[in-house]
Structure 1
Amino acid sequence: MNNIAEQLSLAYHKIDENCQLLSRQTDTVQLIAVSKTKPLADIRCAFAAGHRHFAENYPQELAEKARDATDLAGLIWHFIGPLQSNKTKLVAEHAHWVHSIDRIKIAQRLSEQRPEQMPALNVLIQINISDEGSKSGIAPATMLQLAEQIAALPQLCLKGLMAIPAPGKPEIEQQQAFAAMQALSASLQQHYPSATELSMGMSDDWPLALRYGATMIRLGTAIFGARDYKKE
Protein backbone atom coordinates (compact mmCIF):
# COMPACT_ATOMS: atom_id res chain seq x y z
CA MET A 1 0.00 0.00 0.00
CA ASN A 2 2.75 2.44 0.94
CA ASN A 3 4.30 1.79 -2.47
CA ILE A 4 1.39 3.64 -4.11
CA ALA A 5 2.16 6.77 -2.11
CA GLU A 6 5.83 6.42 -3.03
CA GLN A 7 5.04 6.00 -6.72
CA LEU A 8 2.75 9.03 -6.63
CA SER A 9 5.48 11.09 -4.99
CA LEU A 10 7.97 9.96 -7.63
CA ALA A 11 5.54 10.82 -10.44
CA TYR A 12 4.91 14.29 -9.01
CA HIS A 13 8.66 14.83 -8.73
CA LYS A 14 9.30 13.78 -12.34
CA ILE A 15 6.49 16.01 -13.62
CA ASP A 16 7.91 18.92 -11.66
CA GLU A 17 11.40 18.29 -13.09
CA ASN A 18 10.07 18.19 -16.64
CA CYS A 19 7.99 21.32 -16.14
CA GLN A 20 11.07 23.17 -14.91
CA LEU A 21 13.02 22.09 -18.00
CA LEU A 22 10.17 23.35 -20.19
CA SER A 23 9.68 26.57 -18.20
CA ARG A 24 6.14 25.48 -17.39
CA GLN A 25 4.33 25.94 -14.10
CA THR A 26 3.71 22.60 -12.41
CA ASP A 27 0.14 23.60 -11.62
CA THR A 28 -0.63 23.68 -15.36
CA VAL A 29 -0.40 19.87 -15.42
CA GLN A 30 -2.88 17.50 -13.80
CA LEU A 31 -1.76 13.96 -13.01
CA ILE A 32 -4.65 11.54 -13.41
CA ALA A 33 -4.19 8.14 -11.76
CA VAL A 34 -5.74 5.47 -13.99
CA SER A 35 -7.28 3.05 -11.53
CA LYS A 36 -9.08 0.67 -13.92
CA THR A 37 -9.17 -2.95 -12.67
CA LYS A 38 -7.60 -1.85 -9.39
CA PRO A 39 -9.42 -2.31 -6.05
CA LEU A 40 -10.94 0.60 -4.20
CA ALA A 41 -8.38 0.01 -1.46
CA ASP A 42 -5.67 1.21 -3.85
CA ILE A 43 -7.65 4.34 -4.62
CA ARG A 44 -8.11 4.99 -0.92
CA CYS A 45 -4.36 4.67 -0.44
CA ALA A 46 -3.67 7.20 -3.19
CA PHE A 47 -6.38 9.47 -1.78
CA ALA A 48 -4.78 9.30 1.68
CA ALA A 49 -1.51 10.38 0.03
CA GLY A 50 -3.27 13.51 -1.21
CA HIS A 51 -4.24 12.52 -4.74
CA ARG A 52 -7.73 13.40 -5.96
CA HIS A 53 -8.04 12.67 -9.71
CA PHE A 54 -8.75 9.09 -10.80
CA ALA A 55 -9.70 7.60 -14.16
CA GLU A 56 -11.75 4.57 -15.15
CA ASN A 57 -12.29 2.90 -18.52
CA TYR A 58 -15.47 0.93 -17.87
CA PRO A 59 -18.84 2.49 -16.96
CA GLN A 60 -19.94 -0.23 -14.54
CA GLU A 61 -16.62 -0.20 -12.70
CA LEU A 62 -16.75 3.59 -12.47
CA ALA A 63 -20.28 3.53 -11.04
CA GLU A 64 -19.50 0.81 -8.49
CA LYS A 65 -16.37 2.53 -7.24
CA ALA A 66 -18.06 5.94 -7.12
CA ARG A 67 -20.91 4.53 -5.02
CA ASP A 68 -18.45 2.89 -2.64
CA ALA A 69 -16.26 5.98 -2.30
CA THR A 70 -18.84 8.61 -1.39
CA ASP A 71 -16.98 9.18 1.89
CA LEU A 72 -13.92 10.44 0.01
CA ALA A 73 -14.80 14.12 -0.21
CA GLY A 74 -13.19 15.89 -3.14
CA LEU A 75 -12.45 12.78 -5.20
CA ILE A 76 -12.78 13.54 -8.91
CA TRP A 77 -13.68 10.81 -11.40
CA HIS A 78 -12.52 10.89 -15.02
CA PHE A 79 -13.98 8.50 -17.58
CA ILE A 80 -11.42 7.82 -20.33
CA GLY A 81 -12.66 4.73 -22.16
CA PRO A 82 -14.85 4.20 -25.21
CA LEU A 83 -18.50 4.76 -24.39
CA GLN A 84 -21.54 3.01 -25.83
CA SER A 85 -24.94 4.67 -25.83
CA ASN A 86 -26.47 2.05 -23.51
CA LYS A 87 -23.86 2.87 -20.81
CA THR A 88 -24.00 6.66 -20.85
CA LYS A 89 -26.34 6.94 -17.86
CA LEU A 90 -23.79 5.39 -15.49
CA VAL A 91 -21.16 7.85 -16.61
CA ALA A 92 -23.51 10.84 -16.63
CA GLU A 93 -24.46 10.15 -13.02
CA HIS A 94 -21.00 9.50 -11.57
CA ALA A 95 -18.22 11.13 -13.60
CA HIS A 96 -16.89 14.66 -13.29
CA TRP A 97 -14.98 14.46 -16.57
CA VAL A 98 -15.38 12.45 -19.78
CA HIS A 99 -12.32 12.40 -22.06
CA SER A 100 -13.64 10.20 -24.86
CA ILE A 101 -16.46 12.02 -26.69
CA ASP A 102 -16.31 10.92 -30.33
CA ARG A 103 -19.86 11.40 -31.61
CA ILE A 104 -22.76 13.70 -30.97
CA LYS A 105 -25.16 10.89 -29.97
CA ILE A 106 -23.02 10.10 -26.93
CA ALA A 107 -22.76 13.76 -26.00
CA GLN A 108 -26.51 14.25 -26.29
CA ARG A 109 -27.25 11.25 -24.08
CA LEU A 110 -24.77 12.41 -21.45
CA SER A 111 -26.38 15.84 -21.40
CA GLU A 112 -29.90 14.42 -21.18
CA GLN A 113 -28.96 11.95 -18.43
CA ARG A 114 -26.84 14.29 -16.31
CA PRO A 115 -28.79 14.90 -13.08
CA GLU A 116 -30.02 18.49 -12.93
CA GLN A 117 -28.69 19.00 -9.40
CA MET A 118 -25.14 18.19 -10.55
CA PRO A 119 -22.77 20.66 -12.23
CA ALA A 120 -22.35 20.44 -15.98
CA LEU A 121 -20.23 17.47 -17.03
CA ASN A 122 -16.77 18.46 -18.24
CA VAL A 123 -16.03 16.79 -21.58
CA LEU A 124 -13.13 16.41 -24.00
CA ILE A 125 -13.33 15.47 -27.67
CA GLN A 126 -11.23 12.43 -28.52
CA ILE A 127 -9.14 12.83 -31.68
CA ASN A 128 -7.89 9.78 -33.59
CA ILE A 129 -4.63 11.56 -34.29
CA SER A 130 -2.80 8.52 -35.71
CA ASP A 131 -5.73 7.49 -37.93
CA GLU A 132 -5.92 4.02 -36.41
CA GLY A 133 -8.85 1.94 -37.61
CA SER A 134 -9.09 0.11 -34.29
CA LYS A 135 -9.07 3.22 -32.11
CA SER A 136 -11.89 5.52 -31.07
CA GLY A 137 -11.87 9.20 -31.87
CA ILE A 138 -12.80 11.55 -34.65
CA ALA A 139 -10.82 12.81 -37.62
CA PRO A 140 -9.15 16.15 -36.95
CA ALA A 141 -11.08 17.76 -39.80
CA THR A 142 -14.40 17.20 -37.99
CA MET A 143 -13.30 18.66 -34.64
CA LEU A 144 -14.93 22.07 -34.93
CA GLN A 145 -18.21 20.62 -36.17
CA LEU A 146 -18.50 18.32 -33.16
CA ALA A 147 -17.31 21.07 -30.82
CA GLU A 148 -20.11 23.36 -32.00
CA GLN A 149 -22.70 20.65 -31.38
CA ILE A 150 -21.35 19.87 -27.91
CA ALA A 151 -21.18 23.53 -26.91
CA ALA A 152 -24.93 23.81 -27.51
CA LEU A 153 -25.79 21.06 -25.00
CA PRO A 154 -26.99 22.42 -21.64
CA GLN A 155 -25.49 19.89 -19.24
CA LEU A 156 -22.04 19.62 -20.83
CA CYS A 157 -19.03 21.92 -20.65
CA LEU A 158 -16.52 21.59 -23.49
CA LYS A 159 -13.06 21.69 -21.91
CA GLY A 160 -10.65 20.51 -24.62
CA LEU A 161 -9.22 17.50 -26.44
CA MET A 162 -7.87 14.02 -25.77
CA ALA A 163 -5.75 11.67 -27.85
CA ILE A 164 -3.93 8.36 -27.63
CA PRO A 165 -1.24 8.35 -30.34
CA ALA A 166 -0.34 4.96 -31.78
CA PRO A 167 2.11 3.19 -29.44
CA GLY A 168 5.47 1.80 -30.46
CA LYS A 169 6.12 4.33 -33.20
CA PRO A 170 9.49 6.04 -33.81
CA GLU A 171 9.93 9.19 -31.73
CA ILE A 172 9.66 11.43 -34.79
CA GLU A 173 6.17 10.06 -35.47
CA GLN A 174 5.19 10.49 -31.83
CA GLN A 175 6.39 14.08 -31.99
CA GLN A 176 4.35 14.69 -35.11
CA ALA A 177 1.22 13.31 -33.45
CA PHE A 178 1.65 15.40 -30.30
CA ALA A 179 2.49 18.50 -32.34
CA ALA A 180 -0.66 17.99 -34.38
CA MET A 181 -2.71 17.77 -31.20
CA GLN A 182 -1.12 20.96 -29.88
CA ALA A 183 -2.10 22.75 -33.10
CA LEU A 184 -5.66 21.39 -32.91
CA SER A 185 -5.93 22.57 -29.32
CA ALA A 186 -4.84 26.06 -30.33
CA SER A 187 -7.41 26.04 -33.12
CA LEU A 188 -10.19 24.93 -30.78
CA GLN A 189 -9.32 27.64 -28.26
CA GLN A 190 -9.71 30.30 -30.95
CA HIS A 191 -13.39 29.35 -31.10
CA TYR A 192 -13.85 28.20 -27.47
CA PRO A 193 -11.34 30.03 -25.24
CA SER A 194 -12.19 27.95 -22.15
CA ALA A 195 -11.42 24.65 -23.92
CA THR A 196 -7.81 24.67 -22.73
CA GLU A 197 -7.32 21.07 -21.60
CA LEU A 198 -5.17 18.68 -23.62
CA SER A 199 -5.31 15.13 -22.28
CA MET A 200 -2.45 13.10 -23.72
CA GLY A 201 0.55 11.23 -22.47
CA MET A 202 0.72 7.95 -20.56
CA SER A 203 3.39 6.00 -18.72
CA ASP A 204 5.63 5.49 -21.78
CA ASP A 205 5.34 8.85 -23.52
CA TRP A 206 4.19 11.52 -21.07
CA PRO A 207 7.43 13.59 -21.05
CA LEU A 208 7.11 14.04 -24.81
CA ALA A 209 3.41 14.87 -24.48
CA LEU A 210 4.29 17.47 -21.87
CA ARG A 211 6.68 19.10 -24.34
CA TYR A 212 3.75 19.59 -26.70
CA GLY A 213 1.38 21.19 -24.25
CA ALA A 214 -0.32 18.30 -22.44
CA THR A 215 -2.29 19.54 -19.43
CA MET A 216 -3.58 16.15 -18.28
CA ILE A 217 -1.30 13.12 -18.03
CA ARG A 218 -2.81 9.68 -17.48
CA LEU A 219 -0.65 7.27 -15.47
CA GLY A 220 -1.81 3.83 -14.38
CA THR A 221 0.88 1.17 -14.14
CA ALA A 222 3.41 3.75 -12.95
CA ILE A 223 1.20 4.42 -9.91
CA PHE A 224 -0.61 1.17 -9.17
CA GLY A 225 1.62 -1.48 -10.78
CA ALA A 226 0.78 -4.00 -13.47
CA ARG A 227 -2.87 -4.82 -14.07
CA ASP A 228 -4.57 -8.20 -13.97
CA TYR A 229 -6.72 -8.05 -17.09
CA LYS A 230 -8.42 -11.32 -16.15
CA LYS A 231 -10.61 -9.16 -13.89
CA GLU A 232 -12.07 -7.25 -16.83
Structure 2
Amino acid sequence: MSIADNLARINHQIAEACHTAGRSETEVQLMAVSKVHPVEVIFEAYAAGHRLFGENRVQEFQDKSQHLSNLADASFHLIGPLQSNKTGKAAELFNAIDAVDSLKIAQRLDAAAKALNKRLPILIEVKLSHEESKHGVAPEDLTALLTAMQPLESIEAVGLMTVPPWSEDAEVARPYFRELRRLRDTSATSFPQLTQLSMGMSNDFAVAIQEGSTCVRVGTALFGSRKPPAAI
Protein backbone atom coordinates (compact mmCIF):
# COMPACT_ATOMS: atom_id res chain seq x y z
CA MET A 1 0.00 0.00 0.00
CA SER A 2 1.13 3.56 -0.64
CA ILE A 3 1.83 6.06 2.12
CA ALA A 4 -1.35 7.88 1.09
CA ASP A 5 -3.32 4.64 1.53
CA ASN A 6 -1.69 4.03 4.90
CA LEU A 7 -2.52 7.56 6.03
CA ALA A 8 -6.15 7.10 5.07
CA ARG A 9 -6.31 3.77 6.90
CA ILE A 10 -4.67 5.09 10.07
CA ASN A 11 -6.82 8.22 10.14
CA HIS A 12 -9.88 5.98 9.83
CA GLN A 13 -8.62 3.86 12.74
CA ILE A 14 -8.07 7.00 14.80
CA ALA A 15 -11.61 8.15 14.03
CA GLU A 16 -12.97 4.75 15.08
CA ALA A 17 -10.97 4.80 18.32
CA CYS A 18 -12.25 8.30 19.08
CA HIS A 19 -15.83 7.20 18.43
CA THR A 20 -15.38 4.23 20.78
CA ALA A 21 -13.97 6.53 23.45
CA GLY A 22 -16.73 9.11 22.99
CA ARG A 23 -14.28 11.74 21.76
CA SER A 24 -14.17 13.95 18.69
CA GLU A 25 -11.52 12.91 16.18
CA THR A 26 -10.47 16.56 16.06
CA GLU A 27 -9.04 16.09 19.57
CA VAL A 28 -6.30 13.71 18.37
CA GLN A 29 -3.40 14.54 16.06
CA LEU A 30 -1.48 11.99 14.05
CA MET A 31 2.26 12.50 14.13
CA ALA A 32 4.05 10.75 11.27
CA VAL A 33 7.30 9.45 12.73
CA SER A 34 9.74 9.80 9.87
CA LYS A 35 12.92 9.10 11.84
CA VAL A 36 15.33 6.66 10.19
CA HIS A 37 13.48 7.06 6.90
CA PRO A 38 14.61 9.01 3.85
CA VAL A 39 13.19 12.42 3.01
CA GLU A 40 11.15 10.89 0.19
CA VAL A 41 8.63 9.48 2.68
CA ILE A 42 8.10 12.97 4.08
CA PHE A 43 7.44 14.28 0.59
CA GLU A 44 4.92 11.47 -0.05
CA ALA A 45 3.07 12.05 3.21
CA TYR A 46 3.05 15.80 2.63
CA ALA A 47 1.66 15.30 -0.89
CA ALA A 48 -1.12 13.23 0.68
CA GLY A 49 -2.03 16.15 2.93
CA HIS A 50 -0.13 15.34 6.10
CA ARG A 51 1.70 18.11 7.98
CA LEU A 52 2.91 16.88 11.41
CA PHE A 53 6.14 14.88 11.60
CA GLY A 54 8.38 13.50 14.34
CA GLU A 55 12.13 13.06 14.15
CA ASN A 56 14.42 11.42 16.69
CA ARG A 57 17.89 12.86 16.13
CA VAL A 58 19.07 16.42 15.62
CA GLN A 59 21.87 15.54 13.19
CA GLU A 60 19.65 13.29 11.06
CA PHE A 61 17.02 15.98 10.73
CA GLN A 62 19.60 18.67 10.05
CA ASP A 63 20.66 16.67 7.00
CA LYS A 64 17.05 16.16 5.91
CA SER A 65 16.01 19.76 6.52
CA GLN A 66 18.17 21.00 3.67
CA HIS A 67 15.69 19.31 1.31
CA LEU A 68 12.48 20.40 3.06
CA SER A 69 12.51 24.17 2.72
CA ASN A 70 9.53 24.13 0.34
CA LEU A 71 7.29 22.44 2.92
CA ALA A 72 6.60 25.75 4.65
CA ASP A 73 3.48 24.66 6.53
CA ALA A 74 4.85 21.32 7.76
CA SER A 75 5.62 21.04 11.46
CA PHE A 76 8.56 18.99 12.72
CA HIS A 77 8.92 17.90 16.35
CA LEU A 78 11.95 16.39 18.04
CA ILE A 79 10.66 13.31 19.86
CA GLY A 80 13.95 11.70 20.90
CA PRO A 81 16.27 12.46 23.82
CA LEU A 82 18.17 15.72 23.49
CA GLN A 83 21.80 16.22 24.50
CA SER A 84 22.61 19.59 26.05
CA ASN A 85 25.24 20.40 23.41
CA LYS A 86 22.59 20.12 20.68
CA THR A 87 19.92 22.33 22.20
CA GLY A 88 20.87 25.34 20.08
CA LYS A 89 20.57 23.47 16.81
CA ALA A 90 17.37 21.75 17.98
CA ALA A 91 15.75 25.09 18.81
CA GLU A 92 16.69 26.34 15.36
CA LEU A 93 15.50 23.31 13.38
CA PHE A 94 12.34 22.15 15.12
CA ASN A 95 8.91 23.66 15.66
CA ALA A 96 8.58 21.92 19.04
CA ILE A 97 10.63 19.72 21.36
CA ASP A 98 8.63 16.79 22.74
CA ALA A 99 11.13 15.09 25.04
CA VAL A 100 12.43 17.56 27.64
CA ASP A 101 13.37 15.76 30.85
CA SER A 102 15.57 18.12 32.87
CA LEU A 103 15.84 21.73 33.95
CA LYS A 104 19.27 22.00 32.33
CA ILE A 105 17.86 21.08 28.91
CA ALA A 106 14.90 23.42 29.43
CA GLN A 107 17.16 26.33 30.35
CA ARG A 108 19.44 25.78 27.36
CA LEU A 109 16.46 25.54 25.02
CA ASP A 110 15.03 28.72 26.50
CA ALA A 111 18.29 30.61 25.91
CA ALA A 112 18.54 29.29 22.36
CA ALA A 113 14.92 30.14 21.56
CA LYS A 114 15.36 33.62 23.00
CA ALA A 115 18.39 34.21 20.78
CA LEU A 116 16.28 33.13 17.80
CA ASN A 117 13.38 35.37 18.89
CA LYS A 118 11.28 32.23 18.91
CA ARG A 119 8.57 30.87 21.21
CA LEU A 120 9.15 27.14 21.51
CA PRO A 121 6.49 24.74 22.80
CA ILE A 122 7.80 21.69 24.62
CA LEU A 123 6.49 18.51 26.18
CA ILE A 124 7.91 17.03 29.36
CA GLU A 125 8.85 13.38 28.97
CA VAL A 126 7.90 11.34 32.02
CA LYS A 127 9.58 8.01 32.70
CA LEU A 128 6.90 5.62 33.89
CA SER A 129 8.72 2.43 32.88
CA HIS A 130 11.58 0.91 34.87
CA GLU A 131 13.48 0.09 31.67
CA GLU A 132 16.98 1.58 31.66
CA SER A 133 16.64 2.42 27.96
CA LYS A 134 13.79 4.82 28.63
CA HIS A 135 14.29 8.53 29.30
CA GLY A 136 12.25 11.04 31.24
CA VAL A 137 11.73 12.83 34.51
CA ALA A 138 10.56 10.72 37.44
CA PRO A 139 6.85 11.26 38.20
CA GLU A 140 7.63 12.47 41.71
CA ASP A 141 9.94 15.17 40.28
CA LEU A 142 7.50 16.52 37.70
CA THR A 143 5.99 19.30 39.83
CA ALA A 144 9.42 20.56 40.88
CA LEU A 145 10.57 20.67 37.25
CA LEU A 146 7.48 22.53 36.09
CA THR A 147 7.84 25.01 38.94
CA ALA A 148 11.51 25.62 38.18
CA MET A 149 10.67 26.23 34.53
CA GLN A 150 8.09 28.94 35.21
CA PRO A 151 10.54 31.88 34.93
CA LEU A 152 11.62 30.74 31.45
CA GLU A 153 10.07 33.06 28.87
CA SER A 154 10.90 31.56 25.47
CA ILE A 155 9.72 28.00 26.01
CA GLU A 156 6.37 26.77 27.26
CA ALA A 157 5.52 23.32 28.59
CA VAL A 158 2.21 22.47 26.94
CA GLY A 159 1.88 18.81 27.88
CA LEU A 160 3.43 15.47 28.76
CA MET A 161 4.68 12.48 26.81
CA THR A 162 5.77 8.96 27.67
CA VAL A 163 6.96 5.75 26.05
CA PRO A 164 5.66 2.60 27.74
CA PRO A 165 7.34 -0.82 27.49
CA TRP A 166 6.75 -2.30 24.05
CA SER A 167 4.45 -5.29 23.76
CA GLU A 168 2.42 -6.93 21.04
CA ASP A 169 -0.48 -6.71 23.49
CA ALA A 170 -1.65 -3.10 23.46
CA GLU A 171 -3.31 -3.56 26.84
CA VAL A 172 0.11 -3.75 28.47
CA ALA A 173 0.50 -0.03 27.77
CA ARG A 174 -2.86 1.03 29.22
CA PRO A 175 -1.73 1.53 32.85
CA TYR A 176 1.13 3.76 31.66
CA PHE A 177 -1.20 5.87 29.52
CA ARG A 178 -3.69 6.12 32.36
CA GLU A 179 -0.97 7.23 34.78
CA LEU A 180 0.31 9.91 32.40
CA ARG A 181 -3.19 11.32 32.08
CA ARG A 182 -3.55 11.31 35.87
CA LEU A 183 -0.26 13.20 36.19
CA ARG A 184 -1.37 15.72 33.56
CA ASP A 185 -4.75 16.25 35.18
CA THR A 186 -3.21 16.65 38.63
CA SER A 187 -0.52 19.02 37.36
CA ALA A 188 -2.98 21.08 35.33
CA THR A 189 -4.55 22.49 38.49
CA SER A 190 -1.35 24.51 38.97
CA PHE A 191 -0.16 24.52 35.37
CA PRO A 192 -3.29 24.92 33.20
CA GLN A 193 -1.27 25.19 29.99
CA LEU A 194 -0.67 21.42 30.19
CA THR A 195 -3.34 20.36 27.71
CA GLN A 196 -1.46 17.84 25.54
CA LEU A 197 -0.75 14.14 26.03
CA SER A 198 1.59 12.57 23.49
CA MET A 199 1.25 8.82 23.90
CA GLY A 200 0.51 5.84 21.72
CA MET A 201 2.37 4.36 18.76
CA SER A 202 1.64 2.04 15.85
CA ASN A 203 0.73 -0.96 17.99
CA ASP A 204 -1.20 0.71 20.81
CA PHE A 205 -2.57 4.07 19.69
CA ALA A 206 -6.22 2.99 19.96
CA VAL A 207 -5.72 2.25 23.66
CA ALA A 208 -3.87 5.56 24.09
CA ILE A 209 -6.79 7.43 22.54
CA GLN A 210 -9.17 5.71 24.96
CA GLU A 211 -6.97 6.95 27.80
CA GLY A 212 -6.89 10.55 26.61
CA SER A 213 -4.02 10.91 24.13
CA THR A 214 -4.06 14.10 22.09
CA CYS A 215 -1.23 13.03 19.77
CA VAL A 216 -0.32 9.54 18.58
CA ARG A 217 3.13 8.89 17.11
CA VAL A 218 2.94 6.43 14.22
CA GLY A 219 5.92 5.32 12.17
CA THR A 220 5.99 1.63 11.24
CA ALA A 221 2.28 1.39 10.38
CA LEU A 222 2.66 4.37 8.09
CA PHE A 223 6.11 4.08 6.54
CA GLY A 224 6.93 0.40 7.06
CA SER A 225 9.96 -1.04 8.85
CA ARG A 226 12.61 1.51 9.57
CA LYS A 227 15.76 1.54 7.51
CA PRO A 228 18.77 3.85 7.38
CA PRO A 229 18.09 6.91 5.22
CA ALA A 230 19.53 6.92 1.75
CA ALA A 231 22.44 9.23 1.06
CA ILE A 232 21.13 12.72 0.30
TM-score (norm 1): 0.93
Aligned equivalent of 1:88 = 87
Q: What SS class does the counterpart of residue 114 from structure 1 fall into?
A: helix
The equivalences for 1:17-36 within 5 A come to 17-36=16-35
Deviation at 1:87, TM superposition (A): 1.2
Identify if the C-alpha distance between structure 1 residues 38 and 169 changes in structure 2 by more than 3 Å, giving closer, same or farther: closer
Pair 46,170 (structure 1): closer, same or farther in 2 beyond 3 Å: closer
Q: Is the 8 A contact 2:162 2:198 kept in 1?
A: yes
Find the aligned partners of 1:169 and 1:186 in 2 and give their Cα distance.
28
Q: How does 1:103-118 map to 2 (within 5 A)?
A: 103-114=102-113, 116-118=115-117
1:4-37 per-position Cα deviation (integer Å, ceiling 9, x unaligned): 1110111111101111111101111010000011
Report the CA distance between 1:175 and its aligned residue. Answer: 2.1
Give the CA deviation at 1:94.
1.1
- 8 Å Cα contact 1:124/1:158 also seen in 2: yes
Query: Which amino acid in 2 is paired with 1:123?
Result: I
Please give the alpha-carbon distance, in whole angstroms, between the structure 2 residues aligned to 1:81 and 1:193: 25
- Who is 2:131 aligned against? 132
Corresponding residue number in structure 2 for 1:3: 2
Taking structure 1 as reference, are residues 45 and 171 closer, same or farther at Cα in structure 2, changes over 3 Å only?
closer
TM-score of the aligned structures, taking structure 2 as reference length: 0.93
Match of 1:79 in 2: 78
Contact 1:130-1:166 at 8 Å conserved across structures? yes
The answer (yes or no) to whether the contact 2:181–2:211 under 8 Å persists in 1 is yes
**Runs of at least 4 residues off by over 4 Å:** 115-118, 169-173
**1:25-60: per-residue Cα shift (whole Å, max 9, x none)?**
111101000001111111011111110000000001
163-172 or 4-13, which deviates more: 163-172
CA distance in 2 between counterparts of 1:223 and 1:115 reads: 35
The residue that corresponds to 1:196 in the other structure is 195
Deviations 1:90-110 (A, max 9, x none): 211011111111111111111
Aligned to 2:122: 123
Gaps of 5+ in 1: none
Give the alignment of 1:34-73 within 5 angstroms: 34-73=33-72
The match for 2:210 is 211
Identity of aligned residues (%): 38
Cα offset, 1:218, TM superposition: 0.2
Comparing 39-48 with 129-138, greater Cα deviation is found at: 129-138
- Specify the SS of the correspondent of 1:78: strand
The one-letter amino acid of 1:93's match is: E
Contact map agreement 1:201 1:209 (CA 8 A) in 2? yes
Task: Using the TM superposition, give the Cα deviation of residue 114 of structure 1 relative to its aligned residue in structure 2, in angstroms.
Answer: 1.7
Q: How far apart are the structure 1 equivalents of 2:168 and 2:127?
A: 15
The one-letter code matched in structure 1 to 2:156 is C
Give me the whole-angstrom Cα distance separating, in 1, the residues matched to 2:170 and 2:218.
19
Q: Which has the higher contact order (CA 8 A, sep 6+)?
A: 2
- Find the counterpart in structure 2 of residue 177 from structure 1: 176
